[in-house]
Amino acid sequence: MESIDGGMQVHYGLQRQRPELLSYTVDIPKAGKYEFTADVCTVTVDRQFLLRVNRRTLLDVDMPYTKTDWMDTKPVELEL
């Protein structure tokens, strides 16, 4: 959905039994090590999301408790 701050945002619902799946394709300039961060807004504590890279690498990403503000997650290193 469109964000009031400009750009786009995703609403991720926690109410379902099975996790919601989101899929993105990212083009990178060359193979190598990269850092991933997500700009998140959370109203609950102790939350994570699972990042799957190239259909094989699974990484848990901790989400900060942002108290309804936007904040970046800590960087996670990826080999792409």
The chain-wide mean pLDDT, for the chain, equals 86
Domain assignment of residue 31, given as a range: 1-80
Rounded to two decimals, what is the model's pTM? 0.75
**Count of domains for the chain:** 1
The whole-number pLDDT of residue 64 equals 93
Average pLDDT over residues 41-69: 88
| DSSP helix/strand/coil, 24 | coil
Tokens 């290193």 belong to residue: 77
The whole-number pLDDT of residue 14 equals 65
Average pLDDT over residues 23-36: 91
Tokens 């997500």 belong to residue: 38
Q: Tell me the pLDDT band of 17, cut-offs 50, 70 and 90.
A: confident
When computed from its CA atoms, the radius of gyration of the chain, rounded to whole angstroms, is 14
